[in-house]
Structure 1
Amino acid sequence: MRRMYMVLAAFLMTALAFSQETITGTIVDGETSDPLPGASIVVKGTTKGATTDFDGKFSLNVAEGSGTLVISYMGYVTKNVAFKKGGSIGTIALAPDAEQLGEVIVVGSGLIDLATDRQTPIAVSTIGVAEIQAKVGSQDVTMTLVNTPSVYVAGQSGGFGDTEIRVRGFEQDNTAFLLNGQPINGMEDGKMYWSNWSGISDIANGIQIQRGLGSSKLAISSVGGTVNFVTKTTDMREGGFVSAGIANDNYIKTTVGYNTGVGEKGFGASVMLSHWQGDGYSNGTFGEGQTYFISLGYKLNDAHNFNFLITGAPQYHDQHYTERISEYQEYGMLYNGNYGYLNGEYLTQRRNYYHKPVANLNWDWTIDDTSSLSTVLYASWGRGGGTGSYGNSPGYISNSITDQGLIDWDAVADYNDGITDGIGVGSSYYGSAIRASVNNHKWFGLVTNYSKEINENLTYNLGADLRTYTGSHFRQLVNLLGLNGFDESASEQYPDGYIVSSTFKPSAWSSLFDYADEDERIAYDYDERINYGGVFGQLEYAKDAYSLFVQGSVSNQSHVRWDRYQYTEAEEESETINNTGYNIKGGGSYAINNQNKFYVNAGYYSRQPYHDNIYLNYANDVNPLTENEKILGLEAGYTFSTSNFNARLDVYRTSWKDRVVSSSDTDDFGAIIYETDEGVEQLHSGAELSLDARPLPNLKLTGFLSVGDWKYVGDAVTTERDEDRNVLSTDVEDVDGGEVGGAAQTTFGLGFDYEFIERMSLDANYRYYDKLYADVGAVKSNIELPSFGLLDAGVSYRMLLGKNDGKSLLFRFNVNNVLNEEYISKMTSNYEAEAGDETYKGINTSNYVYFGNGTTWNFSLRYKF
């Protein structure tokens, strides 16, 4: 009898095994198409389930002939997928559960160079929309990248939008920033001014930072890496949201968005508006701004998809520059010497204001099953500038600095009362006023990419990148402080002189149309045009365990300058300069198995100099030291992954020769001094380790470590200029072996995200910075700043409202720098401490620094309907 039971049990087990079927599939992020490792797949009504591996893939045996899979991932909307039999359910995209505008029609996919576009790996980190919205709060969007290897963000206390980000030790003009495939680095100097892009955190679907060579197919040559901002487009379903937030220092923000959904005829629209304002962390750093976003989509048929988008973020913010450590010690850690009071009312000397509407039209054409064409036509119009002193600055006027280190504007007005006829002379520093340095531009461009699958293993891309840019730079008066005007007798085109008395409000909205005519401009007045054309291509072969790729591009830039202030009308146009550049990169990867993969990449760039480095002294003279910069990048990496753990190791070596770097500092009287280092070589090498694990379905652990060795090689030619672009000094210096400053060369971090109650989670991140040196350009001996560590934490809770209608209420609370660490985030001088000098943690207190923000907080509510 016992033997019969055993035979029966074996039969039943065999029958059950044969009746089971295998279901496979891939789970990805619906916004960036990145795989979601550790996603949970459960057969509804049972406890049978599986989790995805590092590539987002899963395999699940089921006994049922049909049913429903419940697919979930912390931070994403749970999705139910029906199955009827075994086999693949394909790729399932999960939408982030804090998405700003809901499900989107993805456009421009052939232009947005995400890492998934190429099978050969690169050093990459991706931040989804849920994390962006949860953690930005009142901070710049750059702060979403701080928990990634070899990334350093400084200047948080300088004012809204005044942070700067460095990747692998390279400044912002050496990292390529793209918005939906559209280049957005400044055409003149390659820099990023984040206040102009304050709305990105509102409209972003995701951010991907590619360190080093990256996967960008464009004809651009980034040294540090490439950052892709992927924005929302037209929503497919009807709905919307309302959100409100508050933070330290009287910060408030409100946002509303609505989507019509896509109708039967293929049309749809999505709109978002937001407003923010706050006092700023440091004294005298008030700010206010708005964001608008309008997206119109039209799906003509299965082959053609169009989307028109316009967005902008008009803003103003008062600025705080680096101060001496001794001044912070005397006046407090929130000290800012850029403001004071006139007749009892607040008045700042330094205000940034800007409005940069951006519009683009995307067309995606699916030509056939193996080929497609993606094109974006874009335009932007920038208007605005920054204010400062004109004539005799307050620091040079008797009794104009109070005992609190602030500007006594009443004393400045009294000084102006003594000016003959109330007419100042700017070139003679006679009289005092507030001016604005205006930077207006218009920029038009087109990027197009054709993709063709030759066979299942071989794919190629061909494309073009065309841009034309015109910039206009001049100064205009903002506040005469009691004067009647200024005598502008220095202009070559007005040799008899003219009196300027018109003033213009430093407002982001009014600056679109209200700015000085040519006969109302002061100090300087010039335009410049930059035309850029490039072609690029990529060929990739992938089969079984290995892949190979090669990319290349060639481009030409032309530059011309018109100076209406320093030259007569007949001589105002400069020589036209043409520069050709190119880059080529290639690499390969080999997967030993599903868990282990190796890669190696190499690239060489010959990059044209930026416009601001071509013409000397902000005049029409061509800089003889300027030549193409030469960049050689080598990198290799290894990844190990399982269903709930993955680790990545990347190593790199980047040589950058014949480069030009500019920096600025402030003197004892608050005036800005510009420094340019030319002909310098930098050599950056290092290693980066990133880890993430999901030991429990509701617990995610992360970690990173980056160790860099960044040094200067050879000699540097250093030129100092004042705010009016006058040369103060020129020097040749041996900088060989000097440490590159401005970013921490050693960093590590740990973090977790734990859903301890359904739909309620707690997260925290700790990061530590070491080997941070002064940001003073190329020097032989550089001062190392004290190491520091920061802890951020937050809690989220989502309350569901109604059943199956998508309504919810999300609560989010953040605390940054929980332990209130006091630290120097940036130093713009290099004064060694000598015997008898006052010091702060070993640093001479005469040095100019930014201290990092102390403990800050923000709280937000978001209603989705």
Structure 2
Amino acid sequence: MKTKIPSLLLWVCLMVTASAISQSKLSGTILEAGSNMPLPGANLIEKGTSNGVTTDFNGNFTLVSKQKSGQLIISYVGYASVTVNFKGDTNLGNIKLESDNSLDEVVIIGSGVVDLAEDRKTPVAVSTIKAKEIQEKAGNFDLPVLLKSTPSVQTVQSGGFGDGQMYLRGFDQTNIAFLLNGQPINGMEDGKMYWSNWQGVTEVANAIQVQRGLGASKLAISSVGGTVNIVTKTIDKKAGGFVQQMFGNDNYLKTNAYFSTGVNDKGWSFSGLLGYWEGNGYVDFTQGQGQTYFFSVGYQPNENHSINFLITGAPQWHAVAGSADIGDFLDSERGRRYNPWNFDGIDSPNTLDGPYNVYPGGRNIYHKPVANLNWDWTINDNSSLSTVLYGSMGRGSFAQSITDRNSGELLYARGSNNNHNWFGLVTNYNNQLTENLNLNVGADVRFYNGIHFRDVREFISVDSVQANSAYNNNQDYYLTEAGGINPWKVFFNPNTDHLQRFGYDYEEQINYGGIFGQLEYSKDKFSTFFQGALSNQSHVREEFLNTSTPGEGEKGGKINNMGYNLKVGAAYEISSMHKLFVNAGYYSRQPFHENLYKNDRGSNELLQPEAGNEEITGFEGGYQFNGGRAISVNLNAYHTTWGNRTLINNNGENGDDYISFQTLGVKQVHYGAELEVMTRPLEHLRLNGYLSLGEWQFKDNATQRTFDNDGVQIGSDEEIVIDGFNVGGAAQVTGGVNGSYEFLPRASFDAAWNWYNDIFSTGSLELAPLSMPSYDTVDLGFSYTMLFGAGINSIQFRVNVDNVFDEVYLESVNGNTQASANPADNYKGVNKSNTGRFGYGRTWNTSIRVNF
């Protein structure tokens, strides 16, 4: 025993000594390049381990590694990550992080499915809005407003909450592809976007990337004008959260709370957000209210697999702003705030209206939960597989006030319901075949059931509504049940009784299946890619209203449409500062569902001749200059031809009869150039500018057909002359300057000036559009961040003032009535009898946010 005890002590001493020798104590300071200001809360992690720390208030850190040597990864939101080597005890000194516009620090689940431009070496025309800017500038507007300082983008926000619109290179939202974490979210029937369904997306967005033109997406989607990728929060690298309170003009209130556990030792992570908002709206009687929820569960069993499930939704209701002649706004005491859609002095029996003492002419009610399950699998060093399985169930209605024709008494609210069940899967396999050759192949599958009908949403002065249809053997019947105007009730208790519906009642089944692939070659300074997609889309419509057996459906014929797209491009890096690229593409895009059938009112018959595929041809080229922090420049030119369009107008009247129009063979040509300059002339000053010059016109003439209420053609086909007409809706020339100045540590002002010119009205294709007056707006913002808790927590203050100078401008005009010879009949050269809407005047919001 006497010999064993010394031996044991010697062994313990040796182990302790060896352990101490193998450890490394690391220290240093993290600074912002340029300003040399400390970056408190920067993340440092030892590569290949979970061993990490954050910097203190002065940007200092100390970390003990169990390794004698290795690498330390340093990251901070909004800055490029840095990796440094260490060996033994090391004071790394001052480490400076450069500001970064890339998405390196954003954790992206389903990265192989989310088609970001940075994932491909051959560039596209692209702009990216990061989480910090989204957080600061979202305010009380819809998501498109965040993009208004982007080249060739114009946003329209003159209605109620959630009614915002966006144009990209002159194409409206039906022809811009919107993706949420790789999931297509444009309407399957008509490509439309309703931002009221996505009110909460700005609260959970990590980044929004606008790809103009052909874009980087591999899916066969509606990206005629471009693609907008929305990347949401999923897995956070560390635990934390925030609580935010916002106030704004017209009694706007928004509250959000978010928390994330980060990734624990077993690979699990949880995050969630709850929010609430309400407001009166800038336009009179456009009050609204809604909630936001977001829950995410992640699991990383090992470094090769990452699984994430998330569900998000934004149940809401809001009153809408009705249309009126320009003269009505000018004659009203309320001016831009005038809303013709209201009934003064009528109390709603529903408590949602509260103190307003007014029943709106129209109310949007909707709840659309979206869920997706993502799986990223790193198969080996050269290959990976990303898959997203998603689904959404939309339930909601447009409730419109119905009055007695004789007395004007408000009777009930009629609901135009647009429900759906949508499920899909997108999967992408990536293989680095050789050092220079990369292959992507995948599939895109979607199943969509649309459910459309009219019913009673709310009884006001009556307790039943008489209806007449083929239901009940062509006898009158009565609607005695009201579906309600609360989005939660509408979702969980939808109207499924066909005998409590009237006006129209039909469903459609749209199934879509596609395959896609991309091959990219890069060597030295040259890169090129080829991309293709092939898809089939089927349509079946089932009618419930005019059927032989009341309440039972009758299906029409099934139609299948094949579509495809091809893209090719190349880039050459002249030097580290100069790069050139060219891209070309051709789409054969299936017509929307609404272009295939006669009309909404009881027919499941296809239009004859059937609408053919739209033909889109695009060319673009660009030059990129990267001068580091000082200046970078993007110059793009594009030419897009959009042919064989079919347009349906279901709003015509012929005396007391309802008529619709089908216009065939419509062709548009959009071309232009875009300049974007990003500079940092001083250490604390960021100054950016852009200029977009476009020419968007209809080419050649088209053929128009007219149908009566029964879908029977009236008269013969007629040619309409549209060649040379300008495309309306968006400004063809835009420009702007925006910047920020940090005048004190963590305190800054920012401003944006945006200018819109060469704007034309929308309206009948048979008449030339009107030239609208140009306009410009100025927005201001102020931010201040106060640190506390050793500098790893903060309180952020933010103020936004939009349209600071209260500019009065026409944002949109629908009509073709030319200016009158009498100046009193015109407003800035536009006849006052045309339907229009003025943009918002001065608006503001302020918020306080506690990050922990």
The two structures have a TM-score, normalised by structure 2, of 0.85
> Residues of 1 paired with 2:235 and 2:699: CA distance?
50
- Using the TM superposition, give the Cα deviation of residue 76 of structure 1 relative to its aligned residue in structure 2, in angstroms: 3.3
Residue matched to 1:526: 506
After the TM superposition, which segments of 4 or more aligned residues of structure 1 sit over 6 Å from their partners? 41-45, 66-73, 77-81, 91-97, 663-667, 671-675, 719-731
CA-atom RMSD, angstroms? 3.3
The verdict on how the C-alpha distance between 1:245 and 1:795 changes in structure 2, with shifts beyond 3 A counting, is same
> Residues of 2 paired with 1:748 and 1:848: CA distance?
27
- What's the % identity of the aligned pairs? 46
Residue 639, structure 1, aligned to residue 624, structure 2:
yes
List alignment gaps of at least 5 residues for structure 1.
Answer: 1-26, 28-37, 46-65, 401-411, 414-431
- Using the TM superposition, give the Cα deviation of residue 611 of structure 1 relative to its aligned residue in structure 2, in angstroms: 0.7
Residue matched to 1:275: 276
The verdict on how the C-alpha distance between 1:478 and 1:301 changes in structure 2, with shifts beyond 3 A counting, is same
Identify which range, 657-666 or 134-143, moves more after superposition: 657-666
The verdict on how the C-alpha distance between 1:726 and 1:809 changes in structure 2, with shifts beyond 3 A counting, is farther
- The residue correspondences of 1:649-728 to structure 2 (distance < 5 A) are 649-661=635-647, 677-718=663-704
> Residues of 1 paired with 2:531 and 2:96: CA distance?
31
List alignment gaps of at least 5 residues for structure 2.
Answer: 1-29, 40-68, 348-356
Indicate if the aligned counterparts of 1:439 and 1:471 stay in contact, CA closer than 8 A.
yes
SS at match of 1:195: helix
Indicate if the aligned counterparts of 1:68 and 1:80 stay in contact, CA closer than 8 A.
no
Residue matched to 2:595: 613
Residue matched to 2:343: 340
Residue matched to 1:789: 776
SS at match of 2:379: strand
Residue 321, structure 1, aligned to residue 328, structure 2:
no
> Residues of 2 paired with 1:325 and 1:228: CA distance?
36
Out of 813, 821, 832, the position equivalent to 2:807 is 821
The verdict on how the C-alpha distance between 1:658 and 1:81 changes in structure 2, with shifts beyond 3 A counting, is closer
- Using the TM superposition, give the Cα deviation of residue 487 of structure 1 relative to its aligned residue in structure 2, in angstroms: 2.5
Out of 788, 793, 804, the position equivalent to 1:801 is 788
- Using the TM superposition, give the Cα deviation of residue 244 of structure 1 relative to its aligned residue in structure 2, in angstroms: 0.1
- The residue correspondences of 1:436-515 to structure 2 (distance < 5 A) are 436-491=415-470, 494-515=473-494
The verdict on how the C-alpha distance between 1:719 and 1:485 changes in structure 2, with shifts beyond 3 A counting, is farther
The verdict on how the C-alpha distance between 1:371 and 1:693 changes in structure 2, with shifts beyond 3 A counting, is same
* Cα distance per residue 1:738-785 (max 9 Å; x no partner): 000000000000111111111001110101100110022634511011
SS at match of 1:509: helix
- Using the TM superposition, give the Cα deviation of residue 641 of structure 1 relative to its aligned residue in structure 2, in angstroms: 1.8
> Residues of 2 paired with 1:455 and 1:80: CA distance?
27
SS at match of 2:133: helix
Residue 125, structure 1, aligned to residue 127, structure 2:
yes
Indicate if the aligned counterparts of 1:768 and 1:789 stay in contact, CA closer than 8 A.
yes
- Using the TM superposition, give the Cα deviation of residue 385 of structure 1 relative to its aligned residue in structure 2, in angstroms: 1.3
Residue 562, structure 1, aligned to residue 542, structure 2:
yes
- Using the TM superposition, give the Cα deviation of residue 268 of structure 1 relative to its aligned residue in structure 2, in angstroms: 1.4
Indicate if the aligned counterparts of 1:664 and 1:674 stay in contact, CA closer than 8 A.
yes
Indicate if the aligned counterparts of 2:80 and 2:100 stay in contact, CA closer than 8 A.
no
> Residues of 2 paired with 1:524 and 1:726: CA distance?
18
> Residues of 1 paired with 2:362 and 2:659: CA distance?
15
- Using the TM superposition, give the Cα deviation of residue 724 of structure 1 relative to its aligned residue in structure 2, in angstroms: 11
Residue matched to 2:586: 604
Residue type of the partner of 2:132? A
- The residue correspondences of 1:293-304 to structure 2 (distance < 5 A) are 293-304=294-305
> Residues of 2 paired with 1:791 and 1:123: CA distance?
25
Out of 817, 820, 845, the position equivalent to 1:834 is 820
Identify which range, 357-366 or 218-227, moves more after superposition: 218-227
> Residues of 2 paired with 1:43 and 1:840: CA distance?
53
> Residues of 1 paired with 2:793 and 2:714: CA distance?
63
SS at match of 2:521: strand
> Residues of 1 paired with 2:184 and 2:96: CA distance?
31
Residue type of the partner of 2:693? V
Residue type of the partner of 1:585? K
Residue type of the partner of 1:346? V
- Using the TM superposition, give the Cα deviation of residue 179 of structure 1 relative to its aligned residue in structure 2, in angstroms: 0.2
Residue 376, structure 1, aligned to residue 388, structure 2:
yes
Residue type of the partner of 1:752? G
- Using the TM superposition, give the Cα deviation of residue 720 of structure 1 relative to its aligned residue in structure 2, in angstroms: 7.8
SS at match of 1:284: coil
Indicate if the aligned counterparts of 2:75 and 2:105 stay in contact, CA closer than 8 A.
no
Out of 839, 842, 848, the position equivalent to 1:852 is 839
Residue 586, structure 1, aligned to residue 568, structure 2:
yes
Residue matched to 1:419: none
> Residues of 2 paired with 1:298 and 1:796: CA distance?
36
Residue matched to 1:754: 741
- The residue correspondences of 1:299-448 to structure 2 (distance < 5 A) are 299-331=300-332, 332-333=334-335, 334-343=337-346, 345-390=357-402, 393=403, 396-397=405-406, 400=408, 412-413=409-410, 432-448=411-427
> Residues of 1 paired with 2:321 and 2:649: CA distance?
16
SS at match of 2:668: strand
Residue type of the partner of 2:456? L
Residue matched to 1:251: 252
Residue type of the partner of 1:470? N
> Residues of 1 paired with 2:228 and 2:439: CA distance?
23
Residue matched to 2:24: none
The verdict on how the C-alpha distance between 1:838 and 1:698 changes in structure 2, with shifts beyond 3 A counting, is same
The verdict on how the C-alpha distance between 1:324 and 1:723 changes in structure 2, with shifts beyond 3 A counting, is farther
> Residues of 1 paired with 2:647 and 2:689: CA distance?
33
SS at match of 2:579: strand
Aligned length: 767
Identify which range, 634-643 or 807-816, moves more after superposition: 634-643
Residue type of the partner of 1:634? F
Indicate if the aligned counterparts of 1:463 and 1:536 stay in contact, CA closer than 8 A.
yes
Residue type of the partner of 2:619? L
The verdict on how the C-alpha distance between 1:186 and 1:82 changes in structure 2, with shifts beyond 3 A counting, is same
Residue type of the partner of 2:310? L
- Using the TM superposition, give the Cα deviation of residue 171 of structure 1 relative to its aligned residue in structure 2, in angstroms: 1.3
> Residues of 2 paired with 1:828 and 1:567: CA distance?
38
The verdict on how the C-alpha distance between 1:471 and 1:572 changes in structure 2, with shifts beyond 3 A counting, is same
* Cα distance per residue 1:503-539 (max 9 Å; x no partner): 1211211111223211111111111100000000000
